[in-house]
């Protein structure tokens, strides 16, 4: 095959090349381009690992439980630090959803609200069929009226009996006076000499005396009868009073059952879910936990995020930790939040630990079960000049590890350098108190020389007593 040769000074272009040469160059250009591309991507991804890590001596910070004294600082937490990790979660009511429940068995007659509606406390949500409870209430009211009427009648009988008692007592007094007069007259006649008065007069006097005594006994008997009648009326009144009390309680129960046929909102909120429809049966005491539920409400101003935090990041969780919440519904808004609770058990299948993050000042457009992204931030300690003494874990590091009131920390996961400001405290055997800026067990570089933030390190543990 002939080969075209170029004269000196002639430019090398594809136009000057033969067709076979151009084909060979095209075959090699694509593999070379792919190779160069892979090399570039490899260099970008692993450029830090290609640079050898710097060897440093590290010391695990020592934590000792003692009285911590800091003569130049007073600690106050809740200062947002750097971002620690992120996790996904779902919005839900804070702390719990609220159920509006029918407190009596019945059939739903009318539903007055729908899902998503805002309601005020006391607003009517639904009514049950109420004709039977109304009849029961009216029957109890009528029975109570009857009992009170019977009580009033017995009170009238008592008054009449007392009036008769007064009349009989007056008659008894008169009868006793007449009997005494008859006794006196008979005694005087009996002292007279025989023959002074006739036998007929003596007989008449004796009969009159007996008649007067009989009238006294009759009056006393009538008074005894009235007394027994009053006692019987008193017992009857006590029984009627007990029946009236029972009727009042029965009426209250009937009125309560009738009032419970109207299910009202227990709080101001929004209807999260509706669990009732006209004609549906609602019953208490069933196994189904929603067998008596009319609606589930939540307060729009009290929302939280249910976050599943991977166990690899769960060590950084703490109650009171600051967070930021983002939602795809409102991509331009960032909501402030705070960790309020951490579940007591992890999810074995998902390998996560659930936490609750309260949303501060949530937007009214947010709804439960919306997906959200939560960013958890490190809670640092703000310091002010003051003397503080407390009992806790005192953290000590070697004196040579502190430079310009800063220490260098080697992250055990990434093996990168982090510079952290500290407020050195008391010295103890060439060790310096640095809590709470440094936590127990953190890898502290003992002799930091020419380190840069984020630099890769090759830690070598140093034993120190």
In tens, the pLDDT along 279-290 reads: 988 888 788 888
Q: What is the pLDDT, as a whole number, of residue 347?
A: 82
The DSSP-derived string for 302-318 is -EEEEEEEETTTGGG--
Contact 150, 177 (CB under 8 A): no
> Which of 116-125, 144-153, 264-273, 345-354 comes out lowest in average pLDDT?
345-354
In tens, the pLDDT along 85-101 reads: 888 899 999 888 999 98
Kindly report whether the global pTM for this prediction surpasses the value 0.75. no
Residue 338's closest CA among 316, 355, 323?
Answer: 323
- What proportion of the chain, given as a percentage, has pLDDT over 70? 84
Q: What is the pLDDT, as a whole number, of residue 19?
A: 67
Q: What share of the chain is helix, strand, coil (3-state, %, to 5)?
A: 35, 35, 30
Q: What is the pLDDT, as a whole number, of residue 398?
A: 85
- What proportion of the chain, given as a percentage, has pLDDT over 90? 17
Calculate mean pLDDT across residues 335-352: 88
Q: What is the pLDDT, as a whole number, of residue 32?
A: 79
Q: What is the pLDDT, as a whole number, of residue 304?
A: 92
Beta strand residue intervals within 129-280, DSSP E: 262-264, 269-274
CA angle 411, 71, 437 (to 5 degrees): 10
- Which residues lie closer than 8 Å to 345 by C-beta, 6 or more apart? none
**pLDDT higher than 50, residue 1:** no
Calculate mean pLDDT across residues 424-441: 78
Q: Higher pLDDT residue, 236 or 312?
A: 236
> Which of 344-358, 361-375, 381-395, 429-443 comes out lowest in average pLDDT?
381-395
Cα distance between residue 402 and residue 444, in whole Å = 9
- For residue 12, what pLDDT band results from cuts at 50, 70 and 90? very low
Query: Dihedral of the CA atoms 117, 120, 123, 126 (nearest 10)?
Result: 40
**pLDDT higher than 70, residue 382:** no
| Number of continuous H segments (helices) and E segments (strands) in the chain | 4, 23
**pLDDT higher than 90, residue 345:** no
**Mean per-residue pLDDT of the chain:** 81
Cα distance between residue 270 and residue 299, in whole Å = 6
Contact 99, 123 (CB under 8 A): no
Q: What is the pLDDT, as a whole number, of residue 210?
A: 87
In tens, the pLDDT along 171-185 reads: 888 888 888 888 888
């Amino acid at each position: 095959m002939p080969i075209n040769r170029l004269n000196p000074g002639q430019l090398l272009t594809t136009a000057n090349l033969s067709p076979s040469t151009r084909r060979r160059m095209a075959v090699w250009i694509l593999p070379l381009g792919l190779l160069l591309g892979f090399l570039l991507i490899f260099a970008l991804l692993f450029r830090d690992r290609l640079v050898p890590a710097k060897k440093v001596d590290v010391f695990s910070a020592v934590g000792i439980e003692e009285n911590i004294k800091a003569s130049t600082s007073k600690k106050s937490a809740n200062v947002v630090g750097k971002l620690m990790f992120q996790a996904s979660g779902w919005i839900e009511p804070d702390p719990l959803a609220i159920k509006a429940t029918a407190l009596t068995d019945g059939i739903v007659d009318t539903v007055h609200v729908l899902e998503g509606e805002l309601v005020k406390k006391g607003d009517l949500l639904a009514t049950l069929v109420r004709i039977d409870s109304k009849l029961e209430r009216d029957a109890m009211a009528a029975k109570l009226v009857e009992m009170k009427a019977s009580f009033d009648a017995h009170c009238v009988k008592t008054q009449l009996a007392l009036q008769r008692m007064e009349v009989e007592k007056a008659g008894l007094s008169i009868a006793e006076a007449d009997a005494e007069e008859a006794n006196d007259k008979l005694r005087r006649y009996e002292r007279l000499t025989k023959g002074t008065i006739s036998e007929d007069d003596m007989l008449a006097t004796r009969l009159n005396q007996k008649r007067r005594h009989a009238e006294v006994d009759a009056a006393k008997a009538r008074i005894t009868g009235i007394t027994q009648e009053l006692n019987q009326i008193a017992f009857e009144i006590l029984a009627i009073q007990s029946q009236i009390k029972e009727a009042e309680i029965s009426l209250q129960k009937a009125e309560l059952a009738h009032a419970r046929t109207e299910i009202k909102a227990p709080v101001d909120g929004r209807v999260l879910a509706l669990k009732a429809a006209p004609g549906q049966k609602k019953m208490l005491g069933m196994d189904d936990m929603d067998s008596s539920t009319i609606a589930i409400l939540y307060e729009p101003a009290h929302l939280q995020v249910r976050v599943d935090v991977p166990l690899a990041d769960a060590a950084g969780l703490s109650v009171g930790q600051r967070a930021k919440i983002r939602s795809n519904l409102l991509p331009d808004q960032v909501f402030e939040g705070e960790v309020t609770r951490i579940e007591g058990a992890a999810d074995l299948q998902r390998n996560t630990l659930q936490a609750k993050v309260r949303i501060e000042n949530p937007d009214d457009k947010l709804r439960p079960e919306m997906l959200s992204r939560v960013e958890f931030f490190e809670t640092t300690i703000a310091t002010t000049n003051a003397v503080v003494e407390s009992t806790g874990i005192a953290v000590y590091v070697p004196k040579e590890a502190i430079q310009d009131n800063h220490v260098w920390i080697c992250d055990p996961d990434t093996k990168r350098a982090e510079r952290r400001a500290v407020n050195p405290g008391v010295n103890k055997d060439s060790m310096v108190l640095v809590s709470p800026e440094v936590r127990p067990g953190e890898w502290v570089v003992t002799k930091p020389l020419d380190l840069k933030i984020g630099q890769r390190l090759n830690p070598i543990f140093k034993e120190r007593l």
